[in-house]
Structure 1
Amino acid sequence: MTMHTELYQLARETGEYLYQAKHILATAESCTGGWIAEIITDVPGSSAWFDCGFVSYSNQAKQRMLEVNRETLECHGAVSAETALAMVDGVLSHSQATLAVAVTGIAGPGGGSEEKPVGTVFIAWKKREGLAYVVRKQFSGDRRQIRAQTVKTALEGLRSDILTT
């Protein structure tokens, strides 16, 4: 099975789950560059459960589009739990969604550090009227593989009992 086929199948299954749970999704993406929204919109009928996606690659875009505080970016960095949580709050503030996911990370091949090596990704999920949760992942592989693992993990997390009940 190709990477695209696997992600498409996961997006389709996730969409069915969200539709049944009466959720509308929005995304805020940095390191994936819109790949989560792309794979979702590959699914026919996804407009029934997907509202919109924001690609906020630069720090300025994170501030402008998602209202991530400059202080958050300066104190914690663009790749941090704090930024992922601010992004997920921002996407919910600027959409009609009931559920959101945000991703930020270092896909490589450069840009890593000892504290945050290439493959470090933070993914946050939040239900509009619930608590957010965030995970730090350490993915491996090349840039495309790290991004694909991020998309997969983001989609899988949308079916968490914490979010969809």
Structure 2
Amino acid sequence: MYEPNVVGDWQDYEEHAGLRLRVHRLELAEPPRGRDDAADGLTYFRLRVTVENRGTERFGVHLEDGQIDVRIGPEGESAFMDWRNSQFIEGYDVYPLRRITAVLYAAGPEAALGQVDVQIQLRVDDDWTDRRMWSGGIGLPEGTAYAHSPAGRDSLAHQVSTFLRDQAEEGTA
């Protein structure tokens, strides 16, 4: 069964040997060029997306606005993405033993920032990778997802995961 990555975890791409990706440093932060008027009354946060090449070949990497989706809160509502302040990766060659990082700014109601899901579809050398997801929250240390918090235990996704895990265990007993 597919489980999302936890913010801070690396995700390897089997189809591109040595290439890996992670979402990390999810934190409250004001954007460097000022707030967008559309984010009035919302709390800003920042996250980083790092692509690392541990392989022996160069990869052309592309990561921009349409390839990133950020959802917040227990209902998974869309966060406001501040595209003007965010820094993307647009057609950059990542050589072996090198990293590149995109810095994204988003905003949402402060009460919803305890649950943040980030879904990314990377483009590598004109090929689209599968979508990958990371889960975390503002105020949670990296390496822990909201699924381990009391609020996460009540979420539908967590209930379905628990049910399927229980069914698999009963089938092997």
Report the TM-score, using the length of structure 2 for normalisation. Answer: 0.29
Higher-helix-fraction structure: 1
Report the TM-score, using the length of structure 1 for normalisation. Answer: 0.30
Higher gyration radius (CA)? 2
Higher-strand-fraction structure: 2
